[in-house]
Structure 1
């Protein structure tokens, strides 16, 4: 059982002025894809904020995906003049390998028509007995902050439920492998393009290996991902992502909810910083960030789950209503398959999915679906949407 560090942006308001962000997110994981909390610490990372005196990175060419085939939902069309876009909601789950959580999410998705995206951690695809096949950039063989995939029986079971998720139309991206965040040096924030190439080559090798054991998720299906702890030198990472066929990333942070933009040749879907109405404080909308804001991510606080769930759920509802009535930008909700604080955050996201994904003009979609929808629109239409002010609840 290895450590899983979970960092994420807590707030960006100060960063917008200083071009430096304090990030506070951490946790632990198991080879079966579950999570339990560890201590918390801090680091700094300029992330998507462009420091003063530096040029904004060039957008680069707009990446594309093949047009969807077969029967498509009614919302997958070019907007008519004056027509509002659907309110897209992008649910994504880092790790992506917990049977218990899939068993709750998939029935909700089936009932509401929702599609979600799992950011697979590559080491959950290989058994513990093969851990020495992994070498994180700058780290010894078999080192990992999140453990590995458990027993051969665990892997066999995982193949079954991941195949079911795939059959139900869920998307899979990457959360890379060893989860080396700041403090586990050399951390991902300092990796070169060659290091990222090694990490992704190994991720795809594990995917191919488990494909041989019956998994039907193939390398060509992986079109994007989220970095560990939202860290990384994007100038080094993005060339590696592009060379591996990716078209999107979802590791940056925006102040409020904004439309995706093209950054260095990849679609960037940022996690929004939002207001928590119950506390009148801002937080980046990821489950661990909520937990840290609520009580410092204290272990042994399971009894506070019933207190935390409504606070998070109320935040989701507030942000959704603001965006729906505002710029209609895709709402990125980033979570983990975890049971922090007695499952408070899983409970909140599952209830929000259940009550929202079936609402009129609302589409709970995968990243690739939103990209395919954007490809149908006139460039001028997308430019107009991106020019709208960020939505702040």
Structure 2
């Protein structure tokens, strides 16, 4: 664990280490990504990852049939309140900004990886990835001309493949959040300059593109609906470049949101901000360096090479450095305060895909540990809401990596009633080996 004296204050990291903070760069016009004709040669369900089975219950179409209510989400266990003195599980959240299936097939790949390691994840969908290029004028972004988007739009094939993955992801028990639409960053009309009312418009449009893709892409009218009511499904987000959080939250908390992951924080237990859970990206170690960076692939890339096409001879080292940094962060939480570990990613092959390898190896190591639950933000939010306030308050007193001195039983004794808030979340078998890597070593 990195010594406390070497940890960098949040403000210093924002201003000095991560200029352009969590870049979430996303593909621009002409790039080989969802914003520029996604999936031009791709086939859904890559690497044998067949789509999840269709809902077995009644399908009640909503609006033009782009979405439907199909009942409670499958494979989503109810949260359970901790008993007095019970050690909390170690939650790990893997999340993806601007989720869409393009020719890299990373959405389908990581959906298969998650199933392999019994993980649920959050996919922050960019609404314009369900809007065809020829209908781009339907998007009226705040402070920009209609039809403008810094990540482009999509084509029919790309929309179809993205829909395939969204359906299957939800049926697998994953969460579909939002990364909003045009991904505007910086001082010139970027999301950080938007008013509360402008954010309400952006959120409404992000919902509308998900709820109206059949109307906007007539060639896809015969496709199956997304199996959820997006007005109920959408409970959280991450803003582009981590900008504009204050006004976005002020808008979002009036529109059904329960959490936000646009902030910058430490590995401590979360609290509510302005009425919703603040679940920020976190400062994690950068092995071999005297500073910490945000728990996101972009930030490791920025601090290592400053470019997505860095020295090929260093690709393996950079990926290992990210993986080992995340494992060190996991280890100090798992063996310390048990604060949820929040990890953000993009479906991108930056620096030869080394960060995608790092994420996959991290999932393989941490999600198989005893008492670890790799969950979506929705699951984490449900669990937090199920806890006794006194329990959360006590957990909130623990610092980064701090293990309760008297032990968990004494530390959380008497913090609240043992009344369950729902059916138990399945735990890993007690006889399952903890495995290696929990201390942050390269597993």
Q: TM-score, normalised by structure 2?
A: 0.73
Q: Does 1:192 align with 2:195?
A: yes
Q: Does 1:107 align with 2:118?
A: no
Deviation at 1:122, TM superposition (A): 0.9
Deviation at 1:281, TM superposition (A): 2.4
Q: Does 1:229 align with 2:241?
A: yes
Distance, in Å, in 2 between the alignment partners of 1:336 and 1:80 is 37
Which residue of 372, 386, 403 maps to 1:376? 386
Q: How is 1:1-150 mapped onto 2 (pairs within 5 angstroms)?
A: 13-16=8-11, 23-25=19-21, 26=23, 27-29=25-27, 30=31, 32-33=33-34, 76-99=79-102, 100-149=105-154
Which residue of 155, 167, 174 maps to 1:170? 174
Does structure 2 conserve the Cα–Cα contact (< 8 Å) formed by 1:303 and 1:341? no
SS of the aligned residue for 1:224 comes to coil
Does structure 2 conserve the Cα–Cα contact (< 8 Å) formed by 1:207 and 1:218? no
Distance, in Å, in 2 between the alignment partners of 1:72 and 1:287 is 27
Q: Which moved more, 1:86-95 or 1:345-354?
A: 345-354
Which residue of 292, 312, 321 maps to 1:311? 321
Distance, in Å, in 1 between the alignment partners of 2:185 and 2:267 is 26
Distance, in Å, in 2 between the alignment partners of 1:31 and 1:202 is 24
SS of the aligned residue for 2:34 comes to coil
Q: Mark the CA change 1:343 to 1:135 in structure 2 (over 3 Å): closer, same or farther.
A: same
Unaligned residue ranges in structure 1 (runs of 5+):
1-10, 36-67
Q: Does 1:334 align with 2:337?
A: no
SS of the aligned residue for 1:326 comes to helix
Q: Which whole-Å deviations, capped at 9, do the CAs of 1:1-40 have from their partners, x for residues lacking one?
A: xxxxxxxxxx9935547996763354340474389xxxxx
Q: Which whole-Å deviations, capped at 9, do the CAs of 1:68-116 have from their partners, x for residues lacking one?
A: 888875x942212221111000100001112511222122221221000
Partner of 1:38: none
Does structure 2 conserve the Cα–Cα contact (< 8 Å) formed by 1:91 and 1:116? yes
Does structure 2 conserve the Cα–Cα contact (< 8 Å) formed by 1:327 and 1:391? yes
Partner of 2:263: 252
RMSD (CA atoms): 2.6
SS of the aligned residue for 2:136 comes to helix
Aligned length: 346
Deviation at 1:297, TM superposition (A): 2.1
SS of the aligned residue for 2:189 comes to coil
Q: Which moved more, 1:295-304 or 1:266-275?
A: 295-304
Distance, in Å, in 2 between the alignment partners of 1:298 and 1:20 is 21
Q: Which whole-Å deviations, capped at 9, do the CAs of 1:139-167 have from their partners, x for residues lacking one?
A: 00111111112x21221222112211111
Distance, in Å, in 1 between the alignment partners of 2:82 and 2:344 is 27
Partner of 1:347: 357
Distance, in Å, in 2 between the alignment partners of 1:146 and 1:18 is 26
Q: Which whole-Å deviations, capped at 9, do the CAs of 1:253-300 have from their partners, x for residues lacking one?
A: 11x301111100110001111221232321111111101111222535
SS of the aligned residue for 2:177 comes to strand
Which residue of 227, 231, 250 maps to 1:216? 227
Deviation at 1:211, TM superposition (A): 6.3
Does structure 2 conserve the Cα–Cα contact (< 8 Å) formed by 1:131 and 1:142? yes
Does structure 2 conserve the Cα–Cα contact (< 8 Å) formed by 1:230 and 1:251? yes
Partner of 1:155: 159
